Structure 1
Amino acid sequence: MALTFPKPSKLISFSLLLLINLALNPWEGSGEQQNLVFFLQDVSIGPNATVAPVAGVKGKEWSYNTFGTIYAVDDLVTAGPNRNSAPVGRAQGLLATGALDGSNVNIFLSIVFTNLQYNGSTLQIQGVSRQSENYREVSVVSGTGRFRFARGYAALETYYYDPNTTYSIVRLSITLLNSSDGH
C-alpha cells in the first residue's frame, strides 16, 4: 500500500486554523501563570446573610456539618480583607455538604467580576472543600470574557472568623494556567 499525503490545500487550511487558534489563545502551551488574590466577605446569619440553606434532608437540621444540606451563596468579593475594600465582584453559586460525616463541602461558584479591569468576566470554581482545614484547594474549571477557557486552581484560606456573628473573610488565591484573554 502506498503512502498518501494530504493535499497542499488541506495542509494550508489546517495550518491556518492552528495559527488562528494560537492567536486567540496566546498562553496555550506557554506554561505562563496568572495569580489573582481576592477576599470573600461571608455572612451566614442575619438580615444581610450572603449564605443561606435552601435544601436538606427531611427531618435533619440543615447545617454545614449535616450531609445533604445545600446552600445558596452570594458573597461580596473585595480587593482587600477589609469589608470596605474596593469591590471586585460577587461569588455566586452553591455549597453542598457532600460527606456523610459532614467533613466536606462541595463548592460550585462563579466569580462574577464587576470591577473595571474584568467587568463582565467570570471564573468557574468547583471542588471539595475540607471544612476542618484552614487551607483548601479547588479547581478553576473555566471562565468567560477575559478568562475564557481558564483553568487552574483556587486556594481558599480562612483569614478571619467570628463565631458569634458567623462573619468570615476567606482569602481566595487563584492561579490560572493557559488562560485566554478574550479581548
Structure 2
Amino acid sequence: MEKTIIFACILLLSTCTTPAFSKYYRESEAYKPVKLKKTQLRFFIHDILSGSKPSAVRIAAPNTTAYDTGNPTPFGTVYAIDDVLTEGPEATSAVVGNAQGMYLSSSQGKNLTLVMYVDLGFTAGRFKGSSLSVFSRNPVTESHREMAVVGGRGRFRRAQGTVFVKTHFLNYTNGDAVLQYDVEVVHP
C-alpha cells in the first residue's frame, strides 16, 4: 500500500512541474568560416648561461654521482629562461621582446636535445602585447630544426604553426647561444 501511495505522489508531482527553459539557450547561428591570417617573423634569441647575469639558470639537476660537470646542460637538468629577443644577431640589436619559460635536457646520448616550453612575448613593434607559445622537442645539435607553435595570446590568439630554428652562435664550453627563429603561424 505504501508503494502505491509513493508512486501516486511521484506521478502527481511529475505532472505538476512546469517546463524550465535555460536563460542561456538560443538559436544556433549559421556557420561563418574564420579567415586565418598567415604571419612570418624573424628574430634572434640570446640564451646566456654564463656571466654574472645569465638569462638561463639551472633550477633542477639530476641526483647522480656520475653528474657530468664538463657539460653545461647534462641529461635531466631543467633551466628557467628569460631570454632577450632582438631584430638581429648582435647583442646591441633592437629588443623586440623576451622568451620566458623553461627547458629540460632530455637526451642521454651525445647529441644535446631539449624539451622546451617557452612564451615568446613581444614588447615592441606591430605585435606588442602579443605572444606565441612553443612546446616542442629541440634537437640542438641539428643545424636546422623545427618546433611547434601551440597557441598564443593577443593578436596570436589560437595561433598554430612552426618555428624554424638555426643556431647562429653556440659556445660548447659554457652553453651560451644565439639562435635565429623564423616563425610561420596562422591565426584568426
TM range (shorter): 0.7 to 0.9
Q: What are the within-5 Å matches in structure 2 for residues 110-121 of structure 1?
A: 110-121=119-130
RMSD: 2.3
Q: Which residue of 2 is the match for residue 47 of structure 1?
A: 52
C-alpha distance in structure 2 between counterparts of 1:165 and 1:72, whole Å: 16
Please give the per-residue CA displacement for 1:18-49, whole angstroms capped at 9, x wherever unaligned: 33xx4xx421xxxx532100000121111121
* Residues 57/166 of structure 1: CA separation in 2 closer, same or farther (3 Å cut): closer
Q: Which residue of 1 is the match for residue 149 of structure 2?
A: 140
C-alpha distance in structure 2 between counterparts of 1:68 and 1:160, whole Å: 24
CA contact (8 A) 1:64 1:97 kept: no
The letter for the 2-side match of 1:47 is: S
| TM-aligned CA deviation for residue 166 of structure 1 | 4.3
Q: Which one of 75, 92, 96 corresponds to residue 104 of structure 2?
A: 96
What are structure 2's unaligned runs of at least 5 residues?
A: 1-24
Instruction: Give the number of the structure whose alpha-carbon radius of gyration is greater.
Output: 2
Alignment pair present for 1:171 and 2:172: no
CA contact (8 A) 2:43 2:180 kept: yes
Greater CA deviation, 137-146 or 160-169? 160-169
Q: Which residue of 1 is the match for residue 131 of structure 2?
A: 122
CA contact (8 A) 1:66 1:101 kept: no
- Secondary structure in 2 matching 1:67: coil
Between the two proteins, what is the percent identity of the paired residues?
26
| TM-aligned CA deviation for residue 64 of structure 1 | 5.2
CA contact (8 A) 1:105 1:130 kept: yes
Q: Which residue of 2 is the match for residue 13 of structure 1?
A: 28
Alignment pair present for 1:150 and 2:155: no
| TM-aligned CA deviation for residue 112 of structure 1 | 1.1
C-alpha distance in structure 2 between counterparts of 1:35 and 1:111, whole Å: 14
| TM-aligned CA deviation for residue 65 of structure 1 | 4.8
Q: Which residue of 2 is the match for residue 80 of structure 1?
A: 88
What are structure 1's unaligned runs of at least 5 residues?
A: 1-9
CA contact (8 A) 1:121 1:147 kept: yes
Q: Which residue of 1 is the match for residue 9 of structure 2?
A: none
| TM-aligned CA deviation for residue 99 of structure 1 | 2.4
Greater CA deviation, 94-103 or 80-89? 94-103
C-alpha distance in structure 2 between counterparts of 1:48 and 1:128, whole Å: 26
Please give the per-residue CA displacement for 1:30-83, whole angstroms capped at 9, x wherever unaligned: xx5321000001211111211111102113347555221101111100111121
**How many residues end up aligned between the 2 structures?**
160
Greater CA deviation, 154-163 or 128-137? 154-163
